[in-house]
Structure 1
């Protein structure tokens, strides 16, 4: 850890747990001050307490542009500006056996958080940044938005929309020195999968989660599983000056999953515990 973000002020939506809390803690460790927004008051307040004076927390619904504006205003009023906007908040929606069984009842909710929240957060941050020397906007997508697959169709569509929006916004905001980039995590253990199977019995949800984790592990070329800290490392890179010539970029933090299938391990290597 160092001072890569010293003097910078950030907003992180969905920052109370999972990928978001890892990013908040890493930003603070690198010298930034952070405004955290999330619907989970208990976890958000606990995170802010751990970070001390470097973090402020507010309860917000990322699908409500008016509440998002409060986060930007808070960063400017309490910390004096805004240099980094991390639109991380996202939900999965309900998991169905197949698209034939999907009633799309949660379509509006998923889209409001995953797409409208990113679009509104980008616009709100860019309005301030355009008049104050630029900044970095980081939008969270998913390998599900890069690579087609079955299941959670609304979620996949929403994350694909985030990627296309990010590239479009990057083109439009470049004249203001506002960089807009995207991180597409994959195979990172969080509670998102468990929430998607929340309508199932605990036993069935557990079996499904384990089966999907096993499938993800088989599809990942790198032998180790990713962590929220891996995603936080990518966020620090986009937030800091090392990426000052990067915009419109989509970085897959997925252990090589979107690059292709892993090479089959040789039996002798497997016996020796080698990848």
Structure 2
């Protein structure tokens, strides 16, 4: 792809101190954007901004605090004059141990505060500065867990199903103001803290390499694995003018994983007996 697909654009990415958010920030900057990294992890966030160079700045942001999100949006506008792209990427997995019969409602609320309420607040405050300009792009991170049940604990699954509904609902209003909103549903990316933390909670002796091997083995697309860069490039597409008529869409990046469920017919030969 040619460089400069986001030339002159200003982007704010939550949860961008590391993982998919950081990789996306790097990709956006490579294509000409100025990026504000908003994250609760102050030290790592500052280090990431320094690593990514002069076109990256950091602001501390806890997405459960609406005024933090509002301040981050205002910071982007005051630093760069406007906000073109808002990527609501911050999220937590919650506890990996979850049964509906003994669900910890406090834990459920905690996950929803970050993964759902934080995203809605991000959309709200992005819209606040984008609507007057009649242009803008809002992105959100969902998951394959928002498409199929049984892939993650209940709170996380519910939160990611909600994201897809949120972007459909918001798109119906924001399109009238020239603003596009979409989400991305990635396959599990084992290099992210979200996946690693969940796996090591369930299996304390698990290593990063061991987790990666298991996750990669569950993929459906032969000869390829899902990496952070794949999600970053999906975000780049949606944020760029290449996707100027795409809104209300859930871009699934899963190598076909959620497209099929095979019947366990391993004993078909018995029918011939």
TM-score (normalised: structure 2): 0.89
- Alignment partner of 1:193 out of 189, 192, 195: 195
2:238 maps to what in 1? 238
> In angstroms, what is the RMSD of aligned CA positions?
2.4
Give every structure 1 segment of 4 or more consecutive aligned residues whose post-TM-superposition deviation is greater than 6 Å. none
Residue 15 of structure 2 corresponds to 14
Q: Which moved more, 1:18-27 or 1:222-231?
A: 222-231
Which residue of structure 1 aligns with residue 252 of structure 2?
252
- Name the SS for the 2:37 alignment partner: strand
Q: Please list the CA deviations of residues 47-79 of structure 1 after superposition, one character each: whole Å capped at 9, or x if unmatched.
A: 110222211101111121110011100110011
> For 1:124, what is the secondary structure of its paired residue?
helix
Contact 1:104 1:154 in 2 (8 A): no
Deviations 1:229-250 (A, max 9, x none): 1000000111010101010000
Gaps of at least 5 residues in structure 2 are: 265-273
For residue 260 of structure 2, give the secondary structure of its aligned residue in structure 1: coil
Residue 98 of structure 1 contacts residue 151 of structure 1 at CA under 8 Å; is this kept in 2? no
- TM-superposed deviation, 1:214: 2.6
* 1:169 is the counterpart of 2:170: yes
After TM superposition, the score normalised by the length of structure 1 is 0.88
Q: Could you say what secondary structure the match of 2:224 adopts?
A: coil
Question: Is contact 1:107–1:154 with CA below 8 Å preserved after alignment?
Answer: yes
Q: Which runs of 5 or more residues in structure 1 are unaligned?
A: 265-275
Distance 1:70 1:150 in 2: 35
Displacement, 1:254? 1.1
Q: Partner residue of 2:71?
A: 70
Measured in 1, the distance between the counterparts of 2:212 and 2:157 equals 16
2:135 counterpart of 1:143: no
Contact kept? 2:139, 2:181, Cα under 8 Å: yes
- Change beyond 3 A, Cα 1:208–1:250: same
Q: 188, 202, 205: which one pairs with 2:204?
A: 202
